[in-house]
Amino acid sequence: DTGSAAAIPINEVDIAYVTPVTIGTPPQTLMLDLDTGSSDLWVFSSLTPSNQVRGQEIYSPTKSSTSKLLSGHTWSIRYGDGSGSRGTVYTDNFTIGGLEVKSQAVQAALEVSSSFTQEQSLDGLVGLGFSALNTVRPSSQLTFFDNARPNLDEEVFTADLKYHATGSYDFGFIDSKKYAGNITYTAVQQSPGYWTHSLSGYSVGSGAFHASQISGISDTGTTLLYLPTAIVTAYYRQVQGAQNSQYYGGYVFPCSSTLPTFTFGIEGARFTIPASYINYTRISPTSTTCYGGLQSSSGLGINIFGDVALKAAFVVFSGTNPPRIGFAIK
Ligand SMILES: CC(C)(C)S(=O)(=O)N[C@@H](Cc1ccccc1)C(=O)N[C@@H](Cc1c[nH]c[nH+]1)C(=O)N[C@@H](CC1CCCCC1)C(O)(O)C(F)(F)C(=O)NCCN1CCOCC1
């Protein structure tokens, strides 16, 4: 089997991407954020208190003839930006882009934090990390990818995220029309459950390439690119008027600045992030100060290769044994 679905930016600065999925019988369509940085599939539901729902589509298990309560099971998750949710668990038929998993664990929210309530374009998440990270207790549940894997033509899914445009996620096949040249693969270390791998180095603008192993996670659910402070200061040293603002919690610069590109290595291959991706957003609609798409990871404890980096490439998440991740120019 295979599947293919759209990855649609939820706002004009690509803060996140959502994908249409269907749950249950008859199918209920929700827009979910496919997130390789976590492994819970959770949705706004008919069980979510109405004062916590603001425009989101909800999953109603009682309206689905194929839903089953996974009795006695609960879940609770906290994300890196402090947001979180918790609830109960059903199994039901779940489809992404024509690829169906019967009795997928669907985690129905009984409570969501305010940032989820405020994000009306996001009806929940599909965790595509390793199932070891799933928070359902007493027995943890498998991700959509892990459930689908035995039926996939190839044990892969791919991410083709785009700058200010709709991209795609494919399951079970690698679409050679979506990239140019070869795919360069590198080893993934799957503990504790992220797609953890190394970059082989970086360069700023037309500067020399600095070879160094930089370990981090490729995370479709994180907006920006977070790297070690030394690399980030080297980058912003090239930007007139840039400063690391305590007030804004990161590097800001005059929106009129000319930014250099940023290149990262995967083994021997090189991927260049255009300057426009790093001129992330104005700090407020009328401001002439802009916030960078490359920020320091020092507060996170982990380097995160988020959407700003991933949208510069065609990325193959390979569930083979051992797992690996591939990058190609597009
Ligand atoms: C633009 C921005 C200022 C950087 S943002 O912070 O607002 N962007 C958020 C994403 C977002 C999109 C839309 C609306 C609101 C928030 C962002 O990039 N958050 C990151 C990480 C971060 C921390 N600090 C700065 N950024 C995050 O938490 N990403 C998680 C998914 C998000 C959660 C909020 C909703 C959108 C999806 C994540 O799963 O990718 C993660 F990997 F970072 C994470 O937290 N994974 C949870 C891992 N646990 C480990 C223990 O077992 C359970 C799972």
3-state per-residue secondary structure call for 294-317? EEECCCCCCEEECHHHHCCCEEEE
User: Which pLDDT does position 244 carry in this prediction?
Assistant: 98
Residue numbers annotated as active site: 35, 219
Tell me the per-residue pLDDT of 128-170, one tens digit each, with 9 for 90 and over.
999 999 999 999 999 999 999 999 999 999 999 999 999 999 9
CB of residue 218 inside a 6 A radius of ligand 1: no
Between the CA of 221 and the centroid of ligand 1 the distance, in Å, is 6
Instruction: Return the SS3 of 52.
Output: helix
Q: What kind and span of H or E run contains 10?
A: none
Tell me the per-residue pLDDT of 284-297, one tens digit each, with 9 for 90 and over.
999 999 999 999 99
Alpha-carbon distance of 11 to 77, in angstroms, equals 24
Instruction: Return the SS3 of 147.
Output: helix
In which band, very low, low, confident or very high, does the pLDDT at 191 lie, cut at 50, 70 and 90?
Answer: confident
Tell me how far CA of residue 200 lies from CA of 110, 214, 265, 283, 322, in angstroms. Answer: 43, 7, 5, 32, 20
Instruction: Return the SS3 of 162.
Output: strand
Structure tokens at 136: 């359902």
Site to substitute for ligand 1 among 12, 54, 81, 190, most atoms within 8 A of C-beta: 81
Between the CA of 38 and the centroid of ligand 1 the distance, in Å, is 9
- ipTM more than 0.95? yes
CB of residue 35 inside a 6 A radius of ligand 1: yes
Alpha-carbon distance of 42 to 64, in angstroms, equals 16
CB of residue 307 inside a 6 A radius of ligand 1: no
Rounding to the nearest 10 degrees, give the CA dihedral for residues 133, 135, 136, 142: -20
124 torsion bin: left (phi>0), alpha (psi -120 to 50), beta (else): left
pTM over 0.90: yes
Structure tokens at 116: 């989820």
**Mean pLDDT throughout 164-178?**
98
For residue 310, the number of C-alpha atoms closer than 13 Å in the C-beta half-sphere is 34
In which band, very low, low, confident or very high, does the pLDDT at 83 lie, cut at 50, 70 and 90?
Answer: very high
User: Which pLDDT does position 232 carry in this prediction?
Assistant: 98
67 neighbors 91 (Cβ within 8 angstroms): yes
Tell me the per-residue pLDDT of 14-43, one tens digit each, with 9 for 90 and over.
999 999 999 999 999 999 999 999 999 999
Alpha-carbon distance of 132 to 191, in angstroms, equals 8
Tell me the per-residue pLDDT of 215-248, one tens digit each, with 9 for 90 and over.
999 999 999 999 999 999 999 999 999 999 999 9
Q: Tally Cβ neighbours within 10 Å of residue 227.
A: 25
Between the CA of 149 and the centroid of ligand 1 the distance, in Å, is 26
DSSP state of 257: P
Q: Tally Cβ neighbours within 10 Å of residue 247.
A: 8
User: Which pLDDT does position 188 carry in this prediction?
Assistant: 98
